[in-house]
Structure 1
Amino acid sequence: MSIVRRVFYSIIRIFAKLIFTIFYRDHGAFHRENFPRDDGTPILFIAAPHGNFLMDAITIFVACPRQMYFLSAKSNFNYPIFGTIITILGCIPVTRPQDVERVNGDGLVKVIDEGKMVTGEGLGKILQVGDTLYVEFEGPNNNEMLKEASGTVEEIMNDDLVRIKEPDIPTTYSYTHMPPNSEVYSAVYNHFSKSQCVAIFPEGTSHDNEHMLSLKYGCAVMSLGYLASKEPDAFGKERKLKLVPCGLNFFNRHRFRSRVFVDVGHPIEIEQRLVDLYRSGGEGKRQACQELLKTIQTSLTELTVNAPDYNTLLF
């Protein structure tokens, strides 16, 4: 991080602390001793649940003593002031499917096999696994109101058939291509290689649920992908990485003078067995990501309150 960015980072952090102190009557971090000391090992901070892209980022920003780079939706960079700030701070833009311009498809498609397949001329040629397919269909009683549903393409069966789950009627369609993540991973690996810290909200979207959503594979892929490389880091040393789960606990998140605290979990050391399994590719790579993601999910669950109210906690 350049001197200019270090100074700017410090100024923004002081300003963020001031805002936090005004808005929340009580805030802080539990188990701060779990924040690793700066021993040259890069860290991936993994925080959940993700309720608001701004307040959640500020919460981690204020609580963590280490300088870090946040992954942020590319659309956030379009805000006039906020976008400039996160650009100077070196945040890493992530293009999500909903940020990609939707393309209208030619002709009609039909969903068959009890909603498991979508067929249409040339559909398999223009779509890829991971793309989002949108279909429109008539509402109840054949009224003029159109309903829309979307789903992720799971498998390309042939040139005219893809596997997905949608309604079983002829319908118009549109789609978005799943943006490649190679640039995001490359940016993250670059920070890791320089022994820097990166922060991510692995649910992939903000929400108001009382419990965490299922975590996306990105945090597991970027962790194992970095360690799986046999190249040394920027200092010529063997690659290392620690994962630090952070539970975000808000009490009346949007209410003025409410409370918030971050519960910092024990750092997760990634087993060499998982790294070797990831290197094997194919099913081994998938299994390694699933195991690591399960470990992360378990850690975050232990650090957060996944219940709608106090009575639920009392059974």
Structure 2
Amino acid sequence: MAKKELGYMNNYVYDGFLWGFTVILDLFFREIHPRSSWKVPKQGPVIFVAAPHANQFVDPLILMRVAKKASDRRIHFLIAEKSMKRKFIGFMSGLTGVVPVGRAMDAMKVAQGKIYLPDPVNDPCLIRGDGTNFESREFQVGGTIYLPTVNGTSASAEIAEISGPEELKLKRPFKGGVPMQQLTGRDDMTESGQFIDGAVDKKGPAPGFEGSGFKVAPKLNQNDVYDAVHEALFRGGSIGIFPEGGSHDRTELLPLKAGIAIMALGAVEERHDLNLKIIPVGMNYFHAHKFRSRAVVEFGNPIDVPVDLAKQFKGEGRRDAIGTLLETVRQGLNAVTVQSPDYETLMLIQAVRRLYNPKGKKLPLPTVVELNRRLCQGYERYKHDPRIIDLKGQVMLYNKRLLALNVRDHQVELAKLNVFKALGLLIYRLFKLVALIVVVLPGLMLFGLVFIATKLISIRKAKQALAESSVKIEAKDVMATWKIMVAMAVAPLTYTLWIILFTYWYSQNGIQGYLPEGIPLKLLVLAQAVVFPAVTYGSLRFGEVGMDIFKSLGPLILVLVPGSNNELLKVRKRRVILSERVTEIINTLGPEMFEDFESKRIIKDYITHSPPRTPGGRPKDPSYPTSPTSETRPFSHIPRNESFKDLSNQDFFSTHPSTPKKSRSRTSSMGGFALKAFSTFDQKESLDEVSRKIRGAMRERGRRRSSGGDGWDAGSGASTPTSEFGESLQMTKKTK
């Protein structure tokens, strides 16, 4: 029997697999937004480089779905060989043409003895052992040494030479203060691994230091993997890879592995005319581990792999070529991901983003991601500015106050309500909540066991993953995966149990006489198999509305309590001040940071850009956009889907929003803006004057082109807006 080729894909099986999991993704996620998917080439070899890897097995499914829908591409993903050994995951992954990859971290073992640095200053690559045997089969040139995990991070280094049972050399030294302290036992080093000023006896480890325990991993031969990847690319196929090497729940990207560069450079070196494109993909989630969360998949600009760099890769400059391409990929990923140094900073950025939107304008998810990304970049650049330091402290205090009151930022505006309006709104929402509970209860009974099982098992699996990982913080990256897998197993069993129970109940007394006699049991079973999932889905959607309404009750109760209402009013006043200060600082530093700040402003500055208004306060220009604020729709706009109105705007799958009906009206086709003439000139003399000025400007442009004084390319055949407008005016004159 012939051995199946590595990465073999059956298109029909792939599409069927993807269709089945698309339904599951639509149930787990409330929204999945693709952004800039037009940048993906329809044909030719492509490598999708996706990060951050925040959901262990959900990330590939989402990218598969988006790429298939946007560009009709099927992706061969690289997956850890360890994952393929799990029966269910290995079987399902094998159907989609994955390429299993061995990872050194999966093969590492605790080594005998301890190690230390005898001369950390003059020879930081020299490692000495105590009770070790570096000449055993566990140690190989090209293998890896791992130090114990500290604060969720483990340092590693590659073995370059083995000199004896107790001495070896590293290819590159360990970097950072923590690894240096682990290998020297000294506490007179900086965070970068350098001795502090005034340190004495810098030649060796601390007196009495016995060394550090460590782990070792063998060198892996990945030639078969590279061959499978190159074969897929030569056929014009697509490869998907998560270059961080594994999933994690950090707020910043992990260092990229060299595999992506080796694959790309090797393929182009073998075929110079390959025209390979690397597409950076940002996997941006809002609470990735939670049920009914949101995601934005953003595609970056395609990265070309230069032939000269590929030739350098096969020569003496191999390491430099790999480093150059890796840096290019990293910059591409930075442009499509939101990164912050820690969770606290991420919470700060999100608070500033909300404060920068004082009008409460509803922003699309992709716009929220872009705004978060720009704020993170700006904070990283100006974080030592005294204005930013002071603003950070005030925003963090504001966040703490909201947490103490158990109020969300968008609910602070409720402090403007008087007692009677707050009481009426509270009663109204309570009525809606009671009605929703009645509707949700049947689905909750049907699916309650599934929710409990997914919650408990995902928490247990997260604890196991955290214990085995050196990079995870809380191991939230595995929770969504296990919730989906557990639901896939438990849900059918739960529905089967209910079907058996109701069928038996009907056979005994017709379900207390509510159903007529004589219904065939097969028909009854079939009907239940259709009705139970439908009831569950309906309860799920109404349950979302109910949860959002329930979360909105707290601030209304605070408004009705005199003492608490005063606190809420203070927070609201504080928010107004912070919002003005955030806007002022962003408007000051934004143009310095981004050249396109004004032309691509995400949040309109209504202070400096507000149009003339009528005595009644309405804009004179009807085309000026307005947002659903408390001024135009006082408290009728409930954030997200706290209202029944949201349900009518949803398709069966939440990630496929309903297409609005087409209108024959020109005004509606232009998004509600009134059409205006290009010019207000309506007299022949006016047109003659404009034409004369345009012809003079065009002659001046021709003189500049011939002299090359303005830097334009002489002889360019591209038409300009000015020339096109001049020609249109001439045509207008002729028609007149």
TM-score above 0.5, yes or no: yes
Matching residue of 1:79: 86
Q: Does 1:59 align with 2:65?
A: no
Matching residue of 2:183: 167
Q: Does 1:228 align with 2:276?
A: no
Residue deviations 1:5-59, cap 9 Å, x none?
Answer: 2111111111121111111111021011111112xx2111110111122111111
Counterparts in 2 of 1:311 and 1:108: CA distance versus 1, 3 Å: closer
Instruction: Say which of 305, 321, 325 aligns to 1:292.
Output: 325
Q: Amino acid of the residue matched to residue 40 of structure 2?
A: F
- State the distance in 2 between where 1:301 and 1:71 align: 22
Matching residue of 2:297: 262
Q: Within 5 Å, give how 1:181-260 maps onto structure 2.
A: 181-230=222-271, 238-260=273-295
Counterparts in 2 of 1:189 and 1:30: CA distance versus 1, 3 Å: same
Give yes or no for contact 1:128–1:153 (8 Å, CA) kept in 2.
no
- Secondary structure of 2:65 counterpart: helix
Q: Amino acid of the residue matched to residue 128 of structure 1?
A: Q
Give yes or no for contact 2:145–2:216 (8 Å, CA) kept in 1.
yes
Matching residue of 1:278: 313
Structure with the greater relative contact order (CA < 8 A, sep ≥ 6): 1 or 2?
1
Q: Does 1:301 align with 2:334?
A: yes
Matching residue of 1:118: 127
> More strand by proportion, 1 or 2?
1
Give yes or no for contact 1:124–1:161 (8 Å, CA) kept in 2.
no
TM normalised by structure 2 equals 0.37
Q: Does 1:92 align with 2:105?
A: no
- Secondary structure of 1:243 counterpart: strand
- Secondary structure of 1:64 counterpart: helix
CA-CA distance at 1:108 after TM superposition: 5.8
Residue deviations 1:206-244, cap 9 Å, x none?
Answer: 1111111121111011000111125x8xxxxx4331111
CA-CA distance at 1:113 after TM superposition: 2.2
CA-CA distance at 1:255 after TM superposition: 1.1
- State the distance in 1 between where 2:8 and 2:90 align: 20
Instruction: Say which of 2, 10, 17 aligns to 2:15.
Output: 10
Instruction: Say which of 31, 34, 39 aligns to 1:34.
Output: 39
Residue deviations 1:73-96, cap 9 Å, x none?
Answer: 001111111110111222111111
- State the distance in 2 between where 1:224 and 1:204 align: 19
> More helix by proportion, 1 or 2?
2
Residue deviations 1:119-148, cap 9 Å, x none?
Answer: 247526753344223568xxxxxxxxxxxx
Residues matched between the structures, number? 293
- State the distance in 2 between where 1:299 and 1:31 align: 14
Give yes or no for contact 2:55–2:288 (8 Å, CA) kept in 1.
no
- Secondary structure of 2:100 counterpart: strand
TM normalised by structure 1 equals 0.83
Structure 1, unpaired ranges of 5+: 137-148, 233-237
Q: Does 1:132 align with 2:173?
A: no
Q: Amino acid of the residue matched to residue 220 of structure 1?
A: A
Identity over aligned residues, as a percent?
A: 27
CA-CA distance at 1:157 after TM superposition: 6.3
Q: Amino acid of the residue matched to residue 295 of structure 1?
A: T
Q: Amino acid of the residue matched to residue 299 of structure 1?
A: G
Q: Amino acid of the residue matched to residue 98 of structure 2?
A: C
- State the distance in 1 between where 2:213 and 2:302 align: 49
Q: Amino acid of the residue matched to residue 227 of structure 1?
A: V
CA-CA distance at 1:103 after TM superposition: 6.6
- Secondary structure of 2:50 counterpart: strand
Counterparts in 2 of 1:267 and 1:157: CA distance versus 1, 3 Å: same
- State the distance in 2 between where 1:75 and 1:173 align: 22
CA-CA distance at 1:246 after TM superposition: 0.7
Counterparts in 2 of 1:260 and 1:229: CA distance versus 1, 3 Å: same
Highest CA radius of gyration, 1 or 2?
A: 2
Give yes or no for contact 2:80–2:100 (8 Å, CA) kept in 1.
yes
Give yes or no for contact 1:227–1:275 (8 Å, CA) kept in 2.
yes
Residue deviations 1:137-192, cap 9 Å, x none?
Answer: xxxxxxxxxxxx76323532633322354524246655221212212111111111
Counterparts in 2 of 1:69 and 1:4: CA distance versus 1, 3 Å: closer
- State the distance in 2 between where 1:153 and 1:285 align: 17
Q: Does 1:47 align with 2:68?
A: no
Give yes or no for contact 1:48–1:202 (8 Å, CA) kept in 2.
yes
Give yes or no for contact 2:269–2:307 (8 Å, CA) kept in 1.
no
Give yes or no for contact 1:123–1:162 (8 Å, CA) kept in 2.
no
Q: Amino acid of the residue matched to residue 246 of structure 2?
A: T
Q: Amino acid of the residue matched to residue 70 of structure 1?
A: F
Give yes or no for contact 2:115–2:183 (8 Å, CA) kept in 1.
no
- Secondary structure of 1:12 counterpart: helix
